[in-house]
Amino acid sequence: MKKWKYLTMTAVMGSALMLGACGSDSAQNGNNAETNAPASSGQEAADEKLQGSVAGDGSSTVAPIIEAVVEEYAGAQPDVKVSVGVSGTGGGFEKFIAGETDFSNASRNIKDEEKSKLEEAGIDFTELALAYDGLSVVVNPENDWAKDLTVEQLQKIWVEDGKEKKWSDIDPSWPDEKIVYYSPGTDSGTYDYFDEVILDGADLVSSATLSEDDNMLVQGVAGDKNAIGFFGYAYYLENKDKLNIVKVNGVEPTNETIEGGEYTPLSRPLFTYVKNSAMKDNEAAYDFIQFTLENAGDMAEAVGYVRLPEEKYTEGLKTLEGLK
């Protein structure tokens, strides 16, 4: 397996791969990532290559892993067209429910209402874990005060209370400057997870800039001394020269603290959900998901996430085989 370094949301090396990190509006316009490499010629094994198409959508947090997998898969199966949109976890599930995709990437567990809609649509599905992520809170490099925040302080910062908040409201020794917020959009599984473990169902501050495009969040925080934001760990690593990471309850997100469960409550698994009928009837879709599980650990590490224990991938492959 070649070494693969993820370049955030850009087309890279080899095959014709395009991944659009898009918000809800662009998601509706169908921006997606595709591989459609030409068939190889002059090879005796050409007849053994698969043909067909596979469609997915979903989480921008999971996107770096899937982009890396798609890039590798194009070399293994050049005649299979793989398209992967990035409309957020919620947006991806909407397309999954509508029957538009074979798999849906998610940075949270599927919700009960999404399960119900899939049942109504007659779509059976299976959840497959891919990697671990540590949702990362970041500030501008000039911010030398908010280095370590408690969950209670994060709640005070991010929960809407009808007032304009300043850093000095959180700690009197901090600057008397208005806090500037950057958050994933409401279609994002990262938003949902933050809502669950930090906001506890309360409203996020209304002044926050929301975007499904994590690069926009990075640029926003990097451009304002008083800004704070959050997104997946891989995006912090890709931009750590522009941002400062914030410890939560004294623990910094690292591969070790995320995998070991010390970075709590912001550690989480990342998933893909597959349509059972596609795994049974679409040989290309089955092969791509099998390839994904076989390589997810390496790809997760390559792009800055944390691989699962090997037995988890083995379990996933056995589950997938049972769908055939």
248-267 tens-digit pLDDT: 999 999 999 998 889 999 99
d(CA 137, CA 120): 38
The fraction of the chain above a pLDDT of 90, given in percent, is 81
Residue 42 lies in a domain: no
Enter the pTM of the model.
0.78
Q: Is residue 272 part of a domain?
A: yes
d(CA 20, CA 31): 6
Domain limits for position 249 = 132-258
Indicate if 61 and 169 belong to the same structural domain.
no
Burial of 64 (0-12, 13-18, 19+ CB in 10 A): buried
Same domain, 228 and 175: yes
Q: How, if at all, do strands 32-35 and 80-85 pair? A: antiparallel
**Considering the domain boundaries, does residue 59 fall inside one?**
yes
Tell whether 33 is covered by a domain.
no
Residues 6+ apart with CB under 8 A from 271: 62, 105, 106, 107, 109, 127, 128, 129, 130
β-strands 80-85, 52-58 pairing: parallel
Tell me: do 156 and 124 sit in the same domain. Answer: no
Task: Report how far residue 95's alpha carbon sits from residue 30's, in angstroms, rounded to the nearest whole number.
Answer: 10
In the predicted structure, residue 121 carries a pLDDT above the cut 50: yes
Q: Is residue 114 located within the same domain as residue 159?
A: no
Q: How confident is the model at residue 291 (pLDDT cuts 50, 70, 90)?
A: very high
Average pLDDT over residues 217-235: 96
- Tell me how many helices (H) and strands (E) the chain has: 13, 13
Residue 15 lies in a domain: no
Same domain, residue pair 289 and 316: yes
Residue ending a domain, choose from 258, 283, 299: 258
Domain count along the chain? 2
Say if residue 115 is in the same domain as residue 145.
Answer: no
Does residue 23 form part of some domain?
no
The predicted-structure confidence for 165-212, as pLDDT tens digits, reads as follows 999 999 999 999 999 999 999 989 999 999 999 999 899 999 999 998
Least confident of 35-39, 68-72, 91-95: 35-39
Q: Verify that 136 and 120 share a domain, yes or no.
A: no
